[in-house]
Structure 1
Amino acid sequence: MSVEQPWTTVTGPGTIDDLIADALAAGYEIKPRTVHAWVAEGLLDNPARRGKGRGSHIGLYAVNQRKLFLLLLQKREEMPRLPSLALVPLSIWLGWGEEYVPTRQVRKALGTWLRDGRRNLEVARIGAEQMVAQMEHPCASETARARLVRLLAGISHSGRCNEADLAELEDAARAVFEPPSVFGASGLFRAEGHPEAAVTVDGLVEYTRSMCTAMEAVRGNRVDLELLDWARQEYRDSKEYYFRRRPALAAQVSGALAAAFAERSVDEEINSCGRDLLSLIGIALRRSEARRPS
């Protein structure tokens, strides 16, 4: 027998008092300041004002925002940190669109989520180790591997890199992906995986550059609504294409690379949507920079 989720009983817009009552009916005791804080952080959208004049009517939260509020309360038990919780509206917007989470809300939610990556070095280190595992050559030394993990984790944690950082990253990546004991002065380059999604040193460096560009833009409030809407459509199109091609891609790789094409759970999709969105934003900004007259 299925258990009815609390948001299924919500049928219309409501005031902040209605949100508090919704929460109480679902078993959560919430203060108004929590609602206001979540609006400020982009977890919820601003309520729509009614009437003219300051304070003439209490604002109304859209019906889907009332439902989102109850979902956030439920998810907070799994992911209590506010930045992580911001992935919930991000994933809903990417999957279902403006009707459920407006793009203006996503601008704030993206900045809120990004704070988590800045202070959680352990998450950055684990991500770096996973990336290195997908590209390391069997003959790469443990020292070279440790250096690459350290550099990747440091850049991911800070979200900042300059040309010197990227040059050092490329040198470290080549020592792991194309160890000199094997490749030496041959001038050959290594590419692993399916040709449609091959792993290369150049690809890693460009991905890192794009991510840093995107993070700097988000922190500087330089990501406009038009860019976000473009990124969302690109995300949906690329996901649709990838889901069709994933079985074929997975069948043609093995070892650590196979993990990159493993089927994701719903939670894994939610946890990865922030980085996927940042990557697309970075790609668009890098293209814009390349077209700019020097």
Structure 2
Amino acid sequence: MVTVLNKCLIMLAVVAALAGCASAPEVDHSSRYTLKQDRAPDGHFDASGLTDAVPRYEAPRRAGNKSPYQVWGKSYRVVDSNDGYVARGTASWYGQKFHGHKTSNGEVFDMYTMSAAHKSLRIPSYARVTNLDNGRSVVVRVNDRGPFHGDRLIDLSYAAAKKLGYQSRGTARVEVAAITVAPDGSMFLAGERFDPKGGAAVTPAPEPVVNKAGTSRQALFVQLGAFSSRDPAEAMQVRAKGVLQSPVRVREVTTGSGRFHRVQVGPFSSENDARYAQNLLESSGFGNSIVLTDSH
């Protein structure tokens, strides 16, 4: 027979047990990553023997190419085609925090391979990334989305960043040029015929067009989009003219994958002017713009 005293003792024991559970430290297993801050791999990592990613044709996939998509309340769009893409901006890198976790297209991120994340290039794809401060170049395979901090253009794997020589600083000024591969194996770098034999990582970018006076016809533009049809390009041109007083053009280019209509604002005399215009455009709803060098 259970006495009143025994009932009280049982109740006190249950309360004590619950209190012990409540005071025990909790571990949040819902987080995708086990590290709060990203960091370089432990110990010394020698990247000198790493080879560049080898571009090859990969059939288009749905994974990772949803467009538009949202991150932290901001909307981003994936380009219809990587053909002709070339842009300059800030590169960062990601490493141990994300190592072993899935990328946006379902593959596993390996910080020791030559890979990258980009907000708008179709994935998987390839790009040549050049450190504008030291001239080093690498070819990476783009298989992830990001970076989503500030105005950074591309996130490289730790290995790729080390080969470019900026892993200790964290960021670098770079040029990103898309490499597209046709089903027959032919390659194009930023829309121009490309032969990777002899070292794709150090193949120079196409020389700028020069007029008879010897003045470069290359200039900085803010590109708002690229379309296979002219009508949507002209509609975007009209919208952009209502935001800025700067000239807005639709430039028609023909690449190995067809004809495209680029909507571009400019030219600008400096990168600061171009970035200022880009910020104004993004605040007016043009959320997928890039700053690039193109023919004037």
TM-score by length of 1: 0.29
Which of these two proteins has the greater Rg computed from alpha carbons? 2
Q: Which structure dedicates a bigger proportion of its chain to helix?
A: 1
